[in-house]
């Protein structure tokens, strides 16, 4: 999905002649951390609520805050993940969308990005999840798929992330079934470290663990 498909033209924008008071009121009304500044359809930058709160006189015009205009935006033809990246890096819940010529087209809200990202990652689909940890050199999509498919399941989504505190990769696999005891056992048999899993197997595993603990207690 491209960012132009997510533009919300109803989100507010500021003109250079608007006052700090006006900007703060709009941010409060729309629950926004930033607002885009636009002059005759030309995008000038993004202004944060924190910067505005540092101004003593709320009758000051926005044009006097030019030094605080952040050059934060995405181009209309970008993939929506570019907008997610911008929102994360600049800690903003509104991302302006512009053309190559800096014409302002509208903005994308943080809530919309979160919703689209949830659909993109498969968070709204039913199925269990398995998180594996491994060295990057041992990562093989074909082997992971083969292990999953050996139990008649399919991979709905697969995400790879580096752990910041180690050299390991975390591979998150979203499956199309809930009962994954065979798959979890297969991953462990092939030497994969299973960091986390969900689904019916988790419930069964907890019952088995509780049963063993009870037996150990009765033996005392």
Distance CA 20, CA 18 (A): 7
Per-10-residue mean pLDDT, the chain, length 220: 94 97 97 97 97 94 95 96 95 97 97 89 82 93 95 92 86 92 94 88 49 53
Residues 199, 174: contact at Cβ < 8 Å? no
Residue with tokens 């082997």: 143
Q: What is the DSSP string of 120-176?
A: HHTTTS---EEEEEEEGGG--HHHHHHHHHTTT--EEEEEEEE-TTSSEEEEEEEES
Residue with tokens 């951390």: 33
Q: Which residues lie across from 108 on neighbouring strands?
A: 95
Q: Which two tokens stand for residue 180?
A: 């994954």
Residue with tokens 């926004």: 32
User: Could you give the angle at the alpha carbon of 134 between the alpha carbons of 132 and 137, nearest 5°?
Assistant: 140
What is this structure's pTM?
0.74
The residues, ordered by sequence, that sit 6+ positions from 200 with a Cβ below 8 Å of its Cβ are 128, 178, 179, 180, 181
Nearest to 62, CA basis, from 9, 109, 26, 87: 26
| pLDDT confidence of residue 198 | 87
Nearest to 32, CA basis, from 68, 63, 62, 8: 8
Nearest to 83, CA basis, from 102, 111, 50: 111
Distance CA 27, CA 13 (A): 10
Distance CA 153, CA 151 (A): 6
| pLDDT confidence of residue 49 | 96
Nearest to 110, CA basis, from 59, 162, 34: 34
Residues 183, 194: contact at Cβ < 8 Å? no
């Amino acid at each position: 999905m491209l960012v132009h498909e997510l533009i919300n033209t109803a989100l507010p924008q500021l003109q250079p002649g608007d006052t700090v008071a006006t900007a703060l009121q709009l941010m409060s009304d729309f629950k926004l951390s930033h607002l885009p500044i636009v002059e005759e359809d030309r995008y000038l930058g993004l202004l944060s609520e924190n910067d505005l709160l540092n101004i003593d006189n709320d009758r000051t015009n926005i044009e006097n805050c030019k030094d605080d205009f952040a050059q934060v935006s995405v181009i209309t033809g970008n993939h929506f993940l570019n907008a997610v990246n911008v929102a994360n890096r600049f800690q903003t819940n509104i991302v302006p969308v512009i053309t190559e010529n800096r014409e302002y087209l509208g903005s994308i809200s943080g809530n919309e990005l979160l919703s689209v990202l949830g659909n993109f990652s498969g968070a709204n689909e039913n199925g269990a999840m398995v998180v594996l940890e491994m060295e990057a050199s041992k990562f093989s999509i074909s082997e992971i798929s083969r292990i999953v498919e050996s139990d008649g399941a399919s991979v709905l989504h697969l995400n790879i992330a580096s752990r910041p505190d180690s050299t390991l990769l975390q591979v998150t696999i979203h499956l199309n079934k809930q009962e994954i005891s065979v798959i979890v056992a297969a991953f462990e048999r092939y030497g994969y470290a299973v960091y986390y899993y969900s689904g019916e197997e988790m419930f069964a595993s907890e019952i088995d663990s509780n049963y063993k603990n009870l037996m150990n207690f009765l033996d005392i």
